[in-house]
Structure 1
């Protein structure tokens, strides 16, 4: 008998993967968690029934949420990740030799524990000496740390459950204060095919706060809608004005200097969503 994991998204979309075996299922203090081994995408992490990351295509998301802001900044030394307990973003940040300190603010300890146990190909950077793991409310952490980080990466789940507060203007204002004078924030901002209204709302928030606001895109096959957006808010550096010839070569599968530039070229309907007043 074939077994399938099915993600029910936005009440009218289903996405299914054939399952080889279930590695763990548990209810944490914050959400339902599962780690499943699939036929096509290897091991996957699922939170509240929504796929978060897969062994096969995680590199697209994590490379784009990390390398675009870190290569935009002139000298990133300190990075805060809000969410991201799977460790994928940390894995990519560690490829930047200038970074001296990485703080992971993850609300759910069980996400970190399961990633370390079942997703070692993604989570191996969590034990690096540069990494500080803070289990607790990322919003509270941001509020308590001012002018401290060069980069803040909001690696959140969808805007439901414990992540709802990460999609508010008060949070993004707090991140502005948490950043240094030339700091950068990047947040994952969902698919324009599914969350167009939310993306438009977030774009307006960013533009109220950050002198430079730039959305960019990539393709993630296992995320609903596949076309994915990130939104960058920068106090000083324009990600489209960097000299790609100065980007050092690092080990990536998706990100390249050319992709860095191309990611900011938006399809018209996506541009319309971000620019609509």
Structure 2
């Protein structure tokens, strides 16, 4: 090792999870670091994960693996619903979920409701890989509270995606009964709602609560898993519920995925079906609320 290398200062971003786990990412340079009304926002260039967005020191996305999260939050519902034309995304100011929705030719309008304008600005300036989608003419960006939006709007949607942060601070109401009752009201008769649902390793009680709320509100609910390099535990979940009792397995046509001509890096018909096969401990904890296939 040269003297120059020995004397170089190494900078690391640290994420602490539930006071029992620490994740660290080596930083090459800081691109954006500001305190908004809601949270601290940092965008950094890392050694192994490309550019990463942190909200209050919690990793939101990385360029290396964001495609997994965004493909899995968007495409299962898009291929189960007969034809999404209007979609609402709550949160997701990085733009990745919107990007995936826009790949489907049926989509005519996507409204993104993001509470923090600084997230939008930071991602537009420094993570165009995801945020460039926000400038598509089919997209309408609303800066505001998603909870208030679904309570007050008269608009109706085929798909609502709750692309939320962890259930702390302003995101907490996005996991509650009143919120999902209002989501049901903004969905069309065959509408679907998909929500970020944390990790079964660390938030199984939260998943129980979400499944109970969704099954009570919509009559049936499912939960499915995906892997992610930069989230604690590596195995995280989304919930799926539908006003029309659409089934994410029974109403999926694999040929429709093939006929779409879309190419994916993670999602596939096989991954779609496998995602709904839960680890036994998770299945045991949630079976009471899981709808039939």
Question: For this structure pair, what is the TM-score category when the shorter chain's length is used for normalisation?
Answer: over 0.9
Aligned mates of 1:149, 1:208 — CA distance in 2:
20
Question: More displaced, 96-105 or 246-255?
Answer: 246-255
Aligned to 1:24: 32
Residue 245 in structure 1 maps to residue 245 in structure 2:
no
Aligned to 1:135: 143
Alignment partner, residue 224 of structure 2: 216
Deviation digits for residues 222-263 of structure 1 (CA, Å, limit 9, x no counterpart)? 001110110001122111012211222312110111211111
116, 121, 124: which is aligned to 1:116?
A: 124
Alignment of 1:91-240 (within 5 A): 91-146=99-154, 148-236=156-244, 237-240=246-249
Gaps of 5+ in 2: 1-8
Quickly say closer, same or farther: Cα 1:20–1:33, change in 2 above 3 A: same
**Deviation of residue 56 (structure 1)?**
0.5
Consecutive unaligned residues of structure 1, counting only runs of 5 or more, are none
SS of equivalent residue, structure 2 residue 278: coil
Q: Is the 8 A contact 2:31 2:43 kept in 1?
A: yes
The Cα shift of 1:211 comes to 2.4
1:276 shift after superposition: 5.0
Query: How many angstroms apart in 1 are the aligned matches of 2:181 and 2:168?
Result: 20
**Displacement of 1:11 after TM fit?**
1.1
Output the CA distance in 2 between the equivalents of 1:145 and 1:252: 34
Q: Which runs of 4+ in 1 moved over 4 A?
A: none
Given that 2:151 and 2:182 are in contact with CA atoms closer than 8 Å, whether structure 1 keeps it comes out as yes
RMSD: 1.1
Aligned residue in 1 for 2:13? 5
- Which is higher, the Rg of structure 1 or of structure 2? 2
In 1, the alpha carbon distance for the partners of 2:216 and 2:37 equals 35
Q: CA deviation at 1:212?
A: 2.6
Q: Distance in 1 between matches of 2:256 and 2:38?
A: 43
Between the aligned partners of 1:142 and 1:96, the Cα distance in structure 2 is 24
Deviation, 1:147, is: 6.1
Deviation at 1:207, TM superposition (A): 0.8
* Separation in 1, partners of 2:96, 2:127: 10
CA distance in 2, matches of 1:91, 1:135: 18
CA contact (8 A) 1:215 1:264 kept: yes
The number of aligned residues is: 277
TM-score (norm 2): 0.92
Distance in 2 (CA, whole Å) between partners of 1:91 and 1:246 is 20
State the match for 2:266 in structure 1: 254
Matched-pair contact (CA < 8 Å) for 1:87–1:125: yes
TM (norm. structure 1) is 0.98
Give distance in 2, aligned partners of 1:8 and 1:200: 24
**SS of equivalent to 1:181:** strand
